[in-house]
Amino acid sequence: MSSTLSAEEIQIKREFNELLENCQRCNKRGDKALIRKAFKIAYDAHKGALRASGEPYILHPIAVARIVTQEMGLGVKAIVSALLHDVVEDTDFTLEDIENHFGSKIAAIVDGLTKISGVFDKNSNLQAENFRKMLLTLSDDVRVILIKLADRLHNMRTLGALSTARQMKLSAETLYLYAPLAHRMGFYTLKNELEDLSLKYRYPKIFQELSDKIKSQEKSHEAFIREFAKPIKEQLEKNSIPYDISGRYKSIYSIWHKMQTKNIPFEEVYDLMAIRIVFDPLPTIPEKTQCWNIYSMITDIYMPKPERIRDWVSTPKANGYEALHATVMGPKGNWMEVQIRSRRMDDIAERGFAAHWKYKTENSQENELDKWLKRIRELLANPNPDALEFLDDFKLNLFASEIFVFTPKGDTITLPVNSTILDFAYEIHSAIGHKAIGAKVNHKLVPLNHLLKSGDQVEVITSDTYRPRLDWLDNVVTLKAKTAIKDALKADNKDRMVKGKKVLEEKLLEIKLRPNARIIQKLLPAYELSNKDELYSKIGMGLLPLDDLYQVLKQNTKSKWVNYWSLQLGKSSAKSKASASVNSRQHKTNVKTPILLKENLDSATTDYAIAKCCNPIPGDNVIGFRDIIDEDKITIHQAKCPNAIKLLSSQSELLVPVKWTTHKLLSFLVKVAINGIDRFGIYNDITTVICKELNVNIRTINLSSHDGVWDGTMDLYVHDAKDLNNLIGSLSKVKGVDAVKRVEVIS
């Protein structure tokens, strides 16, 4: 810098000096010199660059570095990395330059910070890969994400300089990823500020209204806190417990969120405030015991609300948070939350992951944060190639609220809320998940889709004859379970393809032919298949016996689409027939070979949707309609569906020819109505036919008996109309069954 400093240079110098003066962990010789070196490089690299506010850009990395040390308590490497975090992305400096000046560790951190910047770039094909690389860096060096959180916090604090569109985008990103990530890392203060700032720019009027309401009640709240805390202080002092007591307000975002989820006005949010007690523990008594002793003192004064006790001293949160929370009735009939923490617990609660390392020793047991990082590595072992799905699954599994369940031996398993038996089984081991058929929860038998809750003890029941099914994907929420099930299904499909290819080769050799592209191209239309993988798979499943292979290859296999609509609508009403006939004449030139409705293990890539109004299944006469807005979206109706007939008469130009192929992997839900004459054992006979003889999966069954007769409905999973007809025929033969029929619509 020149001897005569400009106003901007004076500001930069002042901000940097404050960074050095408040560096909490710059204790070693050379620490501040290293920070000055990083600042000089960053200053030169960003020289002339301005932020949207018009300020010199270098003020941003200085501010990030100050957050890193003053608010997070991180050390010199983190400060240096924070100062350099935008150098590689925005200037001509390279990672090699960083490594030459500061070593491989700081270069790796800066690399991770550079990669995470592209996570939300929806035009980037490398989005998922960048995110995974960032997470890999995170799992090795958590400072990457801490510095990125500091970077985002400063950007949110200075968001007012940006356009409204940018404010909305950054606020949405912050709520989607960064605030939950701050929560997971244990930075509650930072998380609350990120959420509040997001709300401020998304809904400025609502934010201001809530701020004004809180401010208007400050004096009365402070008086109440003093009155509430007075007898607690007396008890703590009487027992010679060193303490600090403070009141804290619920964050504006959390108040707004509660108003939204509970659908209540501001005045009905009763837990606006909480009392926090931080004590200096006695070295001879476990901290957990001292927490409960203080709780006992408080409940001698105020009546507790038993269902609102949160014991995070016995089972810390996954981000390492430890505290004992209780809700008690205050002196004026108001509920008040009391948080009890030791000084160490408070440090971890305020400083999150950074404080976790302060208390970690060589003999420390693996804590919840260690387990969380371990889970990141597990998730990255089988990454999903789709960026948005990967982000959603990652967010669901690592930011969700958690439950704690137990194995039969008493080991604790942490799972996201809404986890099922299958999630638990796969969390234990994929081999357990693959063979699961049910479980005992608290010694009671439950199905695989049973939702678990905290405190449940779970014993998984397995069978060597069981294999994962596609509908299992609907019964799991954890990424680990989803990935394992998909991998197993793909492996099974690969085995079928290998088997099918071998069978086809053997069949061709019998007629003195060898497989080639020309033969495959003849077989595909003949069997109404789209590619050779599907051909091999269905041969391997035994769905294409190939007994007529020679005749198929001899004949012309080009499919013709003649009188399709009259055939499909043959069983419909006269109105339906008339509509189809008119449509056929008007659109004769547009009618083409039908779209094949085939199976796909990945439902996200299926190009059609089943209409909920008529719930068609494979084998039903069906027609398709293109969406008037999204032309790639096709909805499949039964040909006799009233909604389909209406569409034919009013929007026939949207009609698309469709046709089922053989389905044996996917299961479709149907409702069956059944009734008959009551007799002993008839219910058992019905379920035996369904489950054992026909191997059909029951979702729900509701049968009731009255005055010697019975009736009811069953929701069943079948592969196609043929399976359903076989089922109805078999049930009709059961003694005592009078009538069985399909109910077309499932609500």
Domain edges within the chain: 7-161, 212-358, 487-554, 564-660, 668-743
What phi-psi label fits residue 559: left (phi over 0), alpha (psi between -120 and 50 degrees) or beta? beta
Query: Residue 740 pLDDT more than 50?
Result: yes
Q: What angle do CA 396, 398, 399 make, to 5 degrees?
A: 70
Of 96 and 521, which is predicted with more confidence? 96
pLDDT of res. 36: 94
pLDDT at 194: 95
Please list the residues that pair with 405 across neighbouring strands: 413
Q: How much is the pTM?
A: 0.58
pLDDT of residue 590: 47
Domain 7-161: CATH superfamily, name plus number: Hypothetical protein af1432 (1.10.3210.10)
The helix or strand, by DSSP H or E, that contains position 670, with its residue range, turns out to be strand 668-677
pLDDT above 70 for 731: yes
Helix (H, G, I), strand (E, B) or coil at 121: coil
* Strand boundaries in 359-411, DSSP class E: 402-406
Look at 231-245, 418-432, 683-697, 717-731 and tell me which has the smallest mean pLDDT. 683-697
> Which residues lie closer than 8 Å to 674 by C-beta, 6 or more apart?
686, 703, 711, 712, 713, 714, 731, 737, 739, 740
Active site residue 90: yes
Q: Are strands 608-610 and 634-638 parallel, antiparallel or unpaired?
A: parallel
Share of the chain above pLDDT 70, in %: 79
The percentage of residues in the chain with a pLDDT greater than 90, rounded to a whole number, is 25
CA-based torsion, 441, 444, 446, 451: positive or negative: negative
DSSP assignment letter at 178: I
In this structure, is the dihedral angle defined by the CA atoms of residues 342, 344, 347 and 349, taken in order, positive or negative? negative
User: Residue 413 above 80 pLDDT?
Assistant: yes
264-293: average pLDDT: 89
State the catalytic residue, choosing from 18, 89, 227, 495: 89
Ranges of H-type helices in 92-174: 95-102, 104-116, 127-140, 143-157, 164-173
The rounded mean pLDDT for the chain is: 80
Q: Looking at residue 237, what is its pLDDT?
A: 93
Q: What digits encode the pLDDT tens for the residues 551-583?
A: 777 774 444 333 444 444 444 444 444 444 444
When pLDDT is cut at 50, 70 and 90, the band that residue 124 belongs to is very low
Instruction: Kindly name the residue from 8, 90, 173, 528 that is annotated as catalytic.
Output: 90
CA distances to 695, 721, 723 from 716, rounded to whole Å, are: 11, 12, 11
Q: What is each CA distance from 103 to 109, 116, 438, 720, in whole angstroms?
A: 11, 21, 53, 63
State the average pLDDT over residues 438-451: 88
d(CA 469, CA 447): 14
pLDDT at 696: 74
Q: Which CATH architecture has domain 668-743?
A: 2-Layer Sandwich (3.30)
Sequence-distant (6+) residues with CB within 8 A of 308 are: 325, 326, 327, 335, 337
Q: Best-predicted range by mean pLDDT among 67-76, 77-86, 512-521? A: 77-86
- Using alpha carbons only, give the angle 93, 97, 102 rounded to the nearest 5 degrees: 125
Which residue matches tokens 């200085």?
Answer: 62
Task: Read off the pLDDT of residues 656-705 as tens digits, 9 standing for 90 and up.
Answer: 888 777 666 567 788 899 998 888 888 888 888 887 766 677 778 888 88
Q: Which run of H or E residues covers position 608?
A: strand 608-610
- Band of residue 601 on the pLDDT scale cut at 50, 70, 90: very low
Nearest C-alpha neighbor of 602 from the set 738, 487, 464, 717: 487
Could you confirm whether 89 is annotated as catalytic? yes
Q: How confident is the model at residue 519 (pLDDT cuts 50, 70, 90)?
A: confident
| Position 88 confidence tier, pLDDT thresholds 50, 70, 90 | confident
Q: What's the pLDDT score for residue 526?
A: 76
Rounded to whole angstroms, the Cα distance separating 395 from 705 reads: 48
CA-closest candidate to residue 667, choices 691, 700, 697, 638? 697
Integer Cα distance of 12 and 66 in angstroms? 13
209-225 average pLDDT score: 88
pLDDT at 139 over 70: no
Residue 143: pLDDT band by 50, 70, 90 thresholds? Answer: confident
Residue 271 clears pLDDT 90, i.e. is over it: no
Residue 211 identity (one-letter amino acid) = S
For the segment 413-426, the average pLDDT, to the nearest whole number, is: 89
Q: Which of 627, 648, 628, 629 is nearest to 638 (CA)?
A: 648
Instruction: State the pLDDT at residue 118.
Output: 54
Residue bearing the bigger pLDDT, 128 or 108? 108
Residues 25-77 have pLDDT tens digits of 788 888 899 999 999 999 999 988 999 889 999 999 999 999 998 888 888 99
CATH class of 212-358: alpha beta
pLDDT higher than 70, residue 550:
yes
300's CB contacts (< 8 A; 6+ apart) are: 235
Residue 276: pLDDT band with limits 50, 70, 90: very high
pLDDT per residue as tens digits for the range 176-201: 778 887 887 778 889 999 999 999 99
At residue 127 the predicted structure's pLDDT band, cuts being 50, 70 and 90, is very low
pLDDT for 121 equals: 47
